[in-house]
Structure 1
Amino acid sequence: MGGISDNVTGLVLAISSSVFIGSSFIIKKKGLKKAGACGTRASDGGYSYLKEPLWWAGMITMLFGEAANFAAYAYAPAILVTPLGALSIIFSAVLAHCILNERLHMFGVVGCIICLVGSVTIVLHAPLEKDIESVKQVWHLATEPGFIIYTCVVLVLVAVLIFGFERRYGQTHMLVYIGICSLMGSLTVMCVKAVGIALKLSFSGSNQFIYFQPWLFTFLVIGFCLMQLIYLNKALDMFNTAVVSPVYFVMFTFLTILASVIMFKEWDSQSATDIVTEICGFVTIICGTFLLHKTRDMGGSADEPPSSSSHITIEICNSPRNQYEV
């Protein structure tokens, strides 16, 4: 029952995170428009939005969403939490259609429905969260041969991409930057989950921060997030956001699920049918996400024609949800 209860808590937190983050895009967009009407637009290099309360309300809303997303990893498996990031895309698209009058194309509606079907499929077949009584158990899982090999492979691939391919191919091949971000992102989520579990246990009365492991995981989260920030912004600066976002979502989610399966062995207790169904749900979400991004400008707007350069989106941290418009 504890596993079911934790999964339900994680599910509620993940959905709440999507609602907050999806709403924050719309609130910030409203703030950007209001600030641009009275001063220099952000796309023209202005920072008048920093004086706009509505933009700050959007940022605060996003922080609430990220906090809920962080907490969700402490209660539910990454297989359940990570793919649900697609819900924030759906929520922001629907709100943009209703509030910003940015019409959602018919194919965009189909993309939303496909994402919902994939999300429900994963929710119904996701594995239960394991009962963990100490952060030392997480440390034991992280230091088992399987995950150590995965971590070494990730670090080697990241080093090869940075030192061997970035200078020659980074500005022409999007997968160089996205590969770095996605590989590091999978390790980031594992560290986030470890810190989240430590906090959950500490709040329940069993202080885990007397051990060195939570502090080490916290340090790694900060370092990995900074690295993702640098290389994801490079990708967004060089390539079209409409292409970067879905590709990053797919790679990040796939590698995060792979890392979680290796570290927490979440598929060991599941049948082959459940595993295949989860994979099908993931593929369904991928299809819906690509369709949404591909058709997001086809609907147009009541007051302005669709434009791929109407705003710049900067994504940071450990989740494809984190899109900050400036």
Structure 2
Amino acid sequence: MDFSRADGGSYTDNLIGTLLAIFGNLLVSISLTIQKYSHVTLAGTKDSRAFYCTKTWWCGFVLTCLGEGANFVSYAFAPLALVAPLNAVSVLSSSILGLIFIREKSKPKDFAKRFGLSVLGVILTIGGTYLFVAFGPNSHEKLKAENIVKHIVGWPVLLYLLLEIITFCLLLYFYKQHRANYLVVILMLVALLGSVTVITVKAVSGMLVLTFEGTMQLDYPIFSVMFVCMVASVIFQARFLSHACKLYDSCLIASVNYILSTILAVVAGES
């Protein structure tokens, strides 16, 4: 059976990218639940240790790294517009895991209702995922080092990065100086960093794939720049998400983070 299209894309590549994205987002949702459990456990005991001194928190951190690694590889196989919306998997699984294992703000009479809605969301997500794979964007540009440089110095990307840096600095000022620990503020910082991660991940994964195919891309300076920016953005995202997990429910975090991250990721990818 031929899965190729005239535009050079491949249903098989889409399927691989989709499965990797689903697996990665499942791991991320599990990690959020574990880290939330770590914070809840410490808050309910007289243990004076910091959260990063517990085994459960580090277990969640490792799962976050593995999940983001799977998401990283998925960008090499499927278009950004296909991978980014699959963060919905993390929203639904976080909601279900939070209800089952942590019972976050859930009265017994509301548990069945919320669980039923979560199951309905899973069914709709599975249907939507199938439609994405079958009818979604199927081709994406193979990013060579020269093409990446051309994209970055283009005015759409420069304008987007300028606006993002200004917004990030303003939010960080209020977050640090005025103790603005609001969920939207924290997750907006995460989403802004996430949009940088999306750009850099797409670039790094694309250059790695071309290198494995025989076209060396790792000796270009742009690869090192993209790799450093990718690692830095992921580390700071993990830090902000950990703080959010300490203050808010993981299912709420996943829901708001999905909305903000998906919007900014798609905008960043299209710019």
TM range (shorter): 0.7 to 0.9
* Distance of aligned partners of 1:25 and 1:240 in 2 relative to their CA distance in 1, 3 Å threshold: closer
Deviation of residue 97 (structure 1)?
8.8
Q: How far, CA to CA, are the matches of 2:140 and 2:241 in structure 1?
A: 32
**Equivalent runs, 1:1-326 vs 2, <5 Å:** 1=4, 2-4=8-10, 5-18=12-25, 20-21=27-28, 42=42, 44=45, 45=47, 50=55, 63-90=65-92, 105-132=115-142, 134-164=144-174, 166-168=176-178, 170-171=180-181, 173-262=182-271
Asked if 2 retains the 8 angstrom alpha-carbon contact of 1:20 and 1:62, the reply is: yes
Structure 1 residue 73, shift from structure 2 partner: 0.9
Q: Deviations over 1:36-94 (max 9, x none)?
A: xxxxx5553478963x9xx95x7766554332211001121221112212224545667
How many Å separate the matches in 1 of 2:28 and 2:178? 36
Measure how far apart 1:141 and its partner are: 1.7
Structure number having the greater helix percentage: 2
Q: Please report how far the alpha carbon of residue 188 of structure 1 lies from its aligned counterpart in structure 2 after TM superposition.
A: 1.2
Deviations 1:97-156 (A, max 9, x none): 999999772222222223333333433342223242622212222221111111111111
Task: Tell me the SS of whatever aligns to 2:215.
Answer: coil
1:278-319 Cα offsets, whole Å, 9 max, x none, are xxxxxxxxxxxxxxxxxxxxxxxxxxxxxxxxxxxxxxxxxx
Deviation at 1:21, TM superposition (A): 4.8
Paired-residue identity, %:
24
Unpaired runs of 5+ in structure 1?
Answer: 34-40, 263-326
Give the TM-score normalised by the residue count of structure 2. Answer: 0.74
Measure the CA separation in 2 of the matches of 1:100 and 1:18. 19
The one-letter code sitting in structure 2 at the alignment partner of 1:78 is L
SS in 2 for 1:159: helix
| Aligned AA (1:3) | G
For residue 178 of structure 2, give the secondary structure of its aligned residue in structure 1.
helix
- Opposite residue 16 of structure 1, the aligned amino acid is F
Deviation at 1:168, TM superposition (A): 3.1
Q: 1:260 deviation in Å?
A: 0.8
Answer whether contact 2:32 2:250 (CA < 8 A) is retained. no
* Residue of structure 2 in register with 1:290 after alignment: none
2:14–2:138 contact (8 Å) kept in structure 1: yes
Contact 1:135-1:197 within 8 A present in 2 as well: no
Matched residue type, 2:126: L
Moved more, 122-131 or 68-77: 122-131
Whether the 8 Å CA contact 2:96–2:115 is kept in 1: the answer is no
Q: Distance in 1 between matches of 2:162 and 2:17?
A: 29
Distance 1:151 1:83 in 2: 22
Question: What SS class does the counterpart of residue 227 from structure 1 fall into?
Answer: helix
Amino acid at match of 2:9: G
Shift of 1:243: 2.8
User: What's the CA shift for 1:236?
Assistant: 3.5
TM-score norm. by structure 1 comes to 0.63
- Judge conservation of contact 2:96–2:118 (CA < 8 Å) in 1: no
